[in-house]
Amino acid sequence: MAEIKAPAARPLSPHLQIYRPMLTMMMSIVHRITGFGNYFGMLILAWWLIAAASGPNAYAKFEWVAGSIIGRTILFGYTWSVIHHMLGGIRHLIWDTGRGFGPNEREWLAAANLVGSIAITVVLWIVGLLAMGGPR
Amino acid sequence: MSDNVRHIRTPLARVRGRGAARSGTGHFWRQRLTAVANIPLTIAAIIIIITLLGRNQAAAAQILGSPLVAIIMLLFVISVTVHMRIGMQVIIEDYVHDESAKLTLIMANTFFAVAVALACAFGILKLAFGV
């Protein structure tokens, strides 16, 4: 009769809790989270387009929700999420060509991704609010 | 014979190169194709949205329904929904290990992506054709 041996205490493969959080690692996680968020954000675009196609009442309802504090907060977050994911995607496309893997390059790209996404989001919102006739 | 030692996969599987999902590198390639397309299309969509801010429904409907804007928005919606479906499938495959839950979510993911794409496209086309 074969006896069932207790499994040997081999080291497991390292996982998240082993590593010190690094910028490149956090940006990789954020890229996935923003992609996940953008997926559901498309519901907002669908609602907006259907509202525009439905008529003035449906459009006014959308504008009321989008213009509320919660609506604006969600839209601001969505804007950042889209921009961040887009810049992150450009980073991935650069990597796909085999470039940008050096120690300095990858840190620089990660930082540029984060700073760029915040800066572009703020600029877009300033332009957007000005287009709406300034902050109300 | 030494070839069989180095490779676990059969020569036929290797030459077909389609992997466990039977789709080869289809998803990998399409994700990059739509990623590249999404860059100019997202920039264009953002410009269109900012242009429409502060306008009433009639003006927004007129601009969204004009041929060039409608075509750009349709391309944006198609490219984004294809991209987001593949991306969500990767997330599901990474984190959902129960086989039936995984297949259910992968199906739901496709249904969601198709429904969002169709809803957006319907809205755009209705504005463009003005019915």
Q: What is the DSSP letter of A7?
A: P
Answer for the pair B46, B97: CB distance below 8 angstroms, yes or no.
no
Alpha helices in chain B (DSSP H): 2-6, 11-16, 26-52, 57-65, 67-95, 99-129
- Prediction ipTM score: 0.86
CA angle B63, B85, A106 (to 5 degrees): 95
**A42 closest CB neighbour out of B53, B116, B122:** B116
Q: Is B122 exposed, middle or buried (0-12, 13-18, 19+ CB in 10 A)?
A: middle
pLDDT tens string A71-83? 999 999 999 999 9
pLDDT of residue A90 exceeding 50, the answer is yes
Both tokens assigned to B29: 């390639």
* Per-residue confidence (pLDDT) for residue A2, from 0 to 100: 62
**Residue among A32, A45, A61 with most chain B CBs within 10 A, to mutate:** A45
The answer to whether A124 contacts B53, with C-beta atoms less than 8 Å apart, is no
* Per-residue confidence (pLDDT) for residue B1, from 0 to 100: 46
Determine the 3-state secondary structure of A132 from DSSP.
coil
CA of residue A136 relative to chain centroid, distance: 28
Answer for the pair A91, A113: CB distance below 8 angstroms, yes or no.
yes
Report the distance separating Cα B130 and Cα B56, nearest Å: 17
pLDDT of residue B16 exceeding 50, the answer is yes
pLDDT tens string B25-42? 889 999 999 999 999 999
Confidence of residue A88 (pLDDT cuts 50, 70, 90): very high
Q: What is the mean pLDDT of residues A116-122?
A: 98
Instruction: Tell me how far apart the terminal alpha carbons of chain A are, to the nearest angstrom.
Output: 82
Report the distance separating Cα A2 and Cα A73, nearest Å: 64
Q: A37 CB near a chain B CB, below 8 Å?
A: no
Give how far Cα A1 sits from Cα of A4, A6, A119, Å: 9, 16, 69
CB neighbours of residue A65 within 10 Å: 16
Instruction: Give B117's Cβ-side CA count (13 Å radius).
Output: 17
Report the distance separating Cα A21 and Cα A25, nearest Å: 7
pLDDT of residue A126 exceeding 90, the answer is yes
Q: What is the pLDDT of chain A when averaged over all its residues?
A: 91
pLDDT of residue B90 exceeding 90, the answer is yes
Q: Is B11 exposed, middle or buried (0-12, 13-18, 19+ CB in 10 A)?
A: exposed
pLDDT tens string B45-73? 999 999 999 899 999 999 999 999 999 99
pLDDT tens string A19-59? 788 899 999 999 999 999 999 999 999 999 999 999 999 99
**A50 closest CB neighbour out of B88, B91, B119:** B119
